[in-house]
Amino acid sequence: MYKYVGAEEIRETTAHLPPGSRILSTNDIDDWIRETKQQVDASGLIAATFVVDCEGYLIIADRHSEHIACAGGKRVLSAGEIFFQKFKNDLEIAEITNQSTGFCPEPESWQHVANALNLIKIPYPSSFNVEFIFRRCFACSQINIVKDNIFICSVCKVKLPQKWNFDR
Ligand SMILES: [Zn+2]
């Protein structure tokens, strides 16, 4: 389970917002797209913020939403960005990532995502399309996204640990 590790002011300024929508079926996604007037992006996809709540359900919100707001301030099993593709009568998940600097979930949280998506019965990728690796710098507290396997803090240049190092 992941607790929020992002900026406290984001938690405070989003605390009054309603949580995201719990998704139990593709109909729920269609309803959400219609009710929130989602538009396709340049790639023809509909992007959203998602979390998997502690009961194992997918929760989605507008892509500009903070993950902590989507989660209703609660802990999550995973978090990231999800991209839906709409066909005439079908919906599928074209892409999904664990990009959330609010929760910094590990790539291994995929299993919870897959379980949540199995409940919805929607086609989805076999893993995160992009796996983000998050580490907090011990020296300056900066949350880093590790790229190209280079474990160095982008701010103060000290070494980052090989192991995931946020509080649960
Ligand atoms: Zn640092």
Give the span between the Cα atoms of 138 and 136, in whole angstroms. 6
* Sequence-ordered alpha helix ranges (H) in 50-138: 67-70, 110-120
The answer to whether 84 and 48 have CB atoms below 8 angstroms apart is: yes
Statement: the pTM of the whole predicted model exceeds 0.85:
yes
Cα-to-centroid distance, 39 and ligand 1 (Å): 38
The pLDDT tens digits for 116-152 are 999 999 999 999 999 999 999 999 999 999 999 999 9
Which residues are within 8 A (CB) of 152 and not within 5 positions of it... i.e. 6 or more apart? 158, 159, 160
Cα-to-centroid distance, 58 and ligand 1 (Å): 33
Give the span between the Cα atoms of 134 and 143, in whole angstroms. 7
Place of tokens 């989605």: 60
pLDDT, the chain, mean: 96
pLDDT at 168 over 90: no
The pLDDT tens digits for 25-79 are 999 999 999 999 999 999 999 999 999 999 999 999 999 999 999 999 999 999 9
Q: Which of 116, 129, 128 is nearest to 29 (CA)?
A: 116
* Mean pLDDT, rounded, for 12-30: 96
Cα-to-centroid distance, 158 and ligand 1 (Å): 6
* Mean pLDDT, rounded, for 96-122: 97
The residues spanned by each domain of the chain are 8-120, 133-168
pLDDT at 89 over 90: no
